[in-house]
A = this chain, B = another copy of it.
Amino acid sequence: MHNFTATYTDQYQLAMAQVYFKNGQKDNTAIFDYSFRKLPFNGGYAIFSGLEDLLEIISELRFSEKDLEFLKTQGFDNDFLQYLKEFRFRGTIYSSAEGDVIFPTRPVLQVEANIIEAQIIETILLNLLNFQTLVATKASRIRLVAGESQLLDFGLRRAQATGGYFATRAALIGGFNGTSNVIAGKNFDIPLSGTMAHSFVQSYDDELTAFREFAEGRPEKCVLLVDTYNTLKSGVPNAIRVAKEMEERGEQLLAIRLDSGDLAYLARESRKLLDDAGLAYVKIAASNQLDEYVIKSLLEQEAPIDIFGVGTNLVTGDPDGALDGVYKLAWAGGKPRIKISESIIKITLPHKKQVFRLKDDNGNCIGADVVGMFNEEKIEEMYHPFEPYKTMKISSYLHEPLLKKVLEDGEVLIPKRNLKEIAEYSAKRLAELPKEYKRFNNPHIYKIGISKELKEERDLLIKNFKNSI
């Protein structure tokens, strides 16, 4: 589907890289943090997604001959282009596990590499992680309200072009069961689902013939779309007739699908008609601008819907559209580095770091991650990053280190999991998170603390800077 080359980047990465190269900085080790500032959907958590594919892509990223010819036309120097010809990412990446629950303002992933390689991969890393994390989080919220219902991704036609391919991958990690997207199904080994379009019904002179021919042509997993003309007067009665004919052939109609009108009312009335006809096994699928709020409402009304097809709102991460992930320098030239900002939340954390999830003796999350220096193993007390009087003793809690080495010298270290395994891991991690962080309205705020040592290092850099101007 995609042929990524190292030109999947921003022009300024290459402009900076050329300067580093010419100034003899090409072996300068840098450490960058990937983190985000704001949880999407006004929620209480996010689901980290996109990592395992990204690592594979990064390990194979090169400039092609054509790329280099193009860059020559853009004013890049010959010796630098010669260097890019040999480019491959040879650094190390420490990361949270794909599927884990993650929170703002703390490193989700750390890149340690020479500054040129670290800079060139920034764009693709942000591009793929920001979006997949957004969609996996959306999917997870939909899964939370949908209980055991089947959830299917129907979004490709309204997706942001080929972003839809990655949206489908992320949807599975967030808890969806299948997709209509054939190429994503093929490449990511995702169960394919689908029903029929209105056009199929329209293309026949009458609905009954359309249903009949569809059931004969695709009897397995047959789903009939019942709202092309009139759901209760035409669609459901015709579907019932065809279901009965299928029974005579030893087949079973899988479901009917509602795609317009009041879904709660139509589902209830359709269920009655089906049950009265002895078709209790025929499921009801629903679609049409669904999201976590609509599905929650439908299920609160006890609408007898078994399968939800979710499209636009899932694959575009509506209403947020983007996770605001950033990639910030924490170390270079043998020294810790910081970015000062008038906006306090934009002040960065210097140094190579580790992040710990705090748990009680029973292994339950206490609702806090703490960021320490990379070599810290246990932290006595954690500080609020920007409110120095907010502190908390944490030495009695278990410290689970979250950043693991996942790629070294450009080689992926972790075994590749399939999406089902990542989704199961994600569900397990989400289950460890107390309910109050998962509610939609005003969720409890998960704490992010920093260690005393990290705080002192950061404050020293801020002080030094203030003295310098």
Interface string of A196-227 (1 = CB under 8 A from B): 11111011111000000110111010000001
Given A132-B161, A157-B123, does the pair A14, B228 have CB atoms closer than 8 Å? no
A131 at the interface (CB under 8 A from B): yes
Q: How far is the CA of A130 from the CA of B163 in the complex (A)?
A: 13
Contact status B11-A194, CB under 8 Å: yes
Q: Which residues of B contact A19 (CB under 8 A)?
A: 200, 213-214, 216-218
A299 at the interface (CB under 8 A from B): no
- The 8 Å CB contact of A341, one of B127, B206, B260, B332, is B260
Q: How far is the CA of A57 from the CA of B1 in the complex (A)?
A: 13
Stretch from A317-325, A416-424, A427-435, A445-453 at the B interface: A317-325
Contact status A157-B469, CB under 8 Å: no
Q: Count residues of A near B (Cβ-Cβ below 8 Å).
A: 114
Interface residues of A in 359-404 (CB under 8 A from B): none
Contact status B329-A16, CB under 8 Å: no
Q: How far is the CA of A65 from the CA of B116 in the complex (A)?
A: 40
Contact status B339-A156, CB under 8 Å: no
Q: What are 15 contact pairs spanning A and B, CB under 8 A?
A: A7-B186, A10-B182, A12-B194, A12-B195, A14-B194, A30-B199, A67-B186, A115-B203, A119-B197, A119-B199, A122-B197, A160-B161, A162-B166, A206-B468, A228-B340
Interface of A with B (CB < 8 Å)? 1-5, 7-16, 18-19, 22-23, 25, 28, 30, 32, 66-67, 70-71, 74-75, 115, 119, 122-123, 126-128, 130-132, 154, 156-167, 179-183, 185-186, 192-200, 202-206, 213-214, 216-218, 220, 227-230, 233-234, 260-261, 312, 316-319, 321-325, 327-329, 332-333, 335, 337-343, 346, 465, 468-469
Given contact pairs A5-B183, A70-B186, a sample of 6 additional A-B residue pairs in the complex whose CB atoms are under 8 Å apart? A10-B154, A22-B217, A161-B166, A162-B163, A234-B469, A316-B322
